[in-house]
């Protein structure tokens, strides 16, 4: 097999992986929005996050893909599932009662965003702006490079992120634990 | 670069953002609204990482990691609010929470 044929075979393989991941991503996104039970929506979000991690890997973002699976599918979705189990399923019926004015306006606004963005992408791609990728080394997106950037160029962002997470954790504890005291204050 | 151009990834991100926006606008359960917000944040992340690959600069991936941290914080505060609402026996329906409406 000549190198040219080998390269095109790899190209086709990446296209197939991309198409499968993109299709899974869109189908699971629609499932998240359209399941009437929030529990199934949260489960569909896991599939969405996993297929997005595959897309990140195709874009040579290895560390971000790993962090996506760990942080989102491992931590955030589990937190969602705990809260859904605690609050109760409360299945709402999103598509009952026919289209209202609000529904039609929402769909029109979303379609406007989609068409607008797709037109811009099409124009830019037609002009060749989106096809000449930069050459990257094999270490692009590796944990070593990300960590070095976080501790040199982006040190301030790194530290501020840690403060934001700390404040959010404290806020979550306060919101979750003191609600009953407000009730008693109102009752008394 | 093997496989599709960056434009294809951006198109996927645009669809994902639209689906998330539809969920935020149409669903009334605040838990599902939060899940749809996650979809929108992930669409932005995909765009950031696609452009990081396009320009060969890792700053986009750093930005995506910061967005993930902000998304985690947002989920913690949002779920804390929902738990507090459930404890006060407030009906979990964003259309019925109109106390602050002017």
- pLDDT confidence tier of residue B76, bands split at 50, 70 and 90: very high
A67 domain residue, yes or no: yes
Residue length, chain B?
A: 102
Please give the residue of chain A at the shortest CA–CA distance from B44: A52
Which of B9, B20, B59 is CA-nearest to residue A121?
B9
Last residue of a domain, one of A57, A79, A94: A94
- pLDDT confidence tier of residue A97, bands split at 50, 70 and 90: low
B94 domain residue, yes or no: no
Q: How far is CA A48 from the centre of its chain?
A: 7
To the nearest 5 percent, what fractions of chain B are helix, strand and coil? 75, 0, 25
Overall domain count for chain A: 2
A101 domain residue, yes or no: no
Residue A1 confidence (pLDDT): 45
Please give the residue of chain B at the shortest CA–CA distance from A6: B2
Supply the range of the domain harboring residue B56: 6-87
B52 domain residue, yes or no: yes
A120 domain residue, yes or no: no
Instruction: Enumerate helices (H) and strands (E) in chain B, giving the number of each.
Output: 3, 0
Last residue of a domain, one of A94, A113, A144: A94
A122 domain residue, yes or no: no
Supply the range of the domain harboring residue A86: 1-94
Which of B59, B26, B60 is CA-nearest to residue A99?
B26
Nearest to A121 among B1, B10, B29 (CB): B10
Round to the nearest angstrom and report the end-to-end CA distance of chain A: 83
* Pair A84, A160 in one domain: no
What's the pTM?
Answer: 0.89
* Pair A167, A85 in one domain: no
pLDDT for residue A181 is more than 70:
no
A110 domain residue, yes or no: no
Round to the nearest angstrom and report the end-to-end CA distance of chain B: 54
A142 domain residue, yes or no: no
Taking only the tens place, the pLDDT of each residue in A128-170 is 777 777 888 888 888 999 999 999 999 999 999 999 999 999 9
Q: Where are the alpha helices (DSSP H) in chain A?
A: 3-34, 38-58, 62-67, 77-87, 101-126, 143-151, 155-177, 179-187
The interface pTM score, or ipTM, of the predicted complex is 0.91
Stretch A18-22: mean pLDDT, rounded? 95
* Distance in angstroms (rounded) separating the CA atoms of residues B76 and B53: 31
Q: Tokens 């195709």 appear where?
A: A58
For residue B12, the surrounding DSSP H or E stretch is helix B6-26
Q: In this structure, what CATH number is given to the domain that contains residue A6? A: 1.20.120.1200
Which residues 11-70 on chain A approach chain B with CB closer than 8 angstroms?
11, 13-15, 17-18, 22, 25-26, 29-30, 32-33, 38, 41-42, 45, 48-49, 52, 55-56, 58-61, 63-64, 67-68
Q: How far is CA B43 from the centre of its chain?
A: 7
Residue A98 confidence (pLDDT): 67
Distance from CA of B95 to the nearest CA of A (A): 11
* Distance in angstroms (rounded) separating the CA atoms of residues B33 and B44: 17
B29 domain residue, yes or no: yes
Q: For residues A18 and B85, which has the higher predicted lDDT (pLDDT)?
A: A18
- 8 Å CB contact of B86 and A87: yes
B64 domain residue, yes or no: yes
Residue A87 confidence (pLDDT): 85
* Pair A90, A9 in one domain: yes
Overall domain count for chain B: 1
- 8 Å CB contact of B35 and A176: no
B10 domain residue, yes or no: yes
Taking only the tens place, the pLDDT of each residue in B19-44 is 999 999 988 888 999 999 999 999 99
Q: In this structure, what CATH number is given to the domain that contains residue B59? A: 1.10.287.3510
Q: Tokens 């992408």 appear where?
A: A121
* Distance in angstroms (rounded) separating the CA atoms of residues B1 and B53: 10
Contacts of A6 (CB under 8 A, 6+ apart): none
- pLDDT confidence tier of residue A119, bands split at 50, 70 and 90: very high
Which tokens hold the place of A144? 């070593």
């Amino acid at each position: 097999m000549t190198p040219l044929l080998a390269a095109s075979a790899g190209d086709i393989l990446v296209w197939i992986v991309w198409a499968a991941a993109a299709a899974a991503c869109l189908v699971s996104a629609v499932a998240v929005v359209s399941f009437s039970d929030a529990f199934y929506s949260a489960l569909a979000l896991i599939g969405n996050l996993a297929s997005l991690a595959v897309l990140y890997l195709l874009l040579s973002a290895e560390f971000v893909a790993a962090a996506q699976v760990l942080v989102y599918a491992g931590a955030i979705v589990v937190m969602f599932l705990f809260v859904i189990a605690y609050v109760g399923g409360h299945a709402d019926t999103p598509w009952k009662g026919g289209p209202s004015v609000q529904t039609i306006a929402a769909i029109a606004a979303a379609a406007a965003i989609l068409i607008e963005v797709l037109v811009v992408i099409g124009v830019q791609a037609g002009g060749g702006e989106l096809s000449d990728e930069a050459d990257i080394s094999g270490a692009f997106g590796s944990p070593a490079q990300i960590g070095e950037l976080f501790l040199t160029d982006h040190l301030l962002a790194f530290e501020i992120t840690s403060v934001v997470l700390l404040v959010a954790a404290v806020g979550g504890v306060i919101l979750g634990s003191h609600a009953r005291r407000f009730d008693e204050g109102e009752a008394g | 670069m093997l496989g599709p151009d960056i434009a294809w990834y951006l198109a996927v991100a645009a669809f994902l953002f639209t689906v998330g926006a539809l969920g935020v606008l149409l669903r009334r359960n605040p838990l599902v609204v939060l899940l749809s917000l996650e979809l929108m944040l992930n669409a932005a992340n995909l765009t950031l990482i696609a452009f990081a690959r396009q320009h060969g600069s890792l700053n986009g991936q750093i930005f995506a990691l910061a967005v993930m941290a902000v998304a985690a914080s947002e989920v913690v505060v949002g779920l804390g609010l929902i738990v507090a609402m459930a404890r006060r026996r407030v009906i979990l329906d964003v259309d019925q929470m109109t106390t602050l409406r002017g």
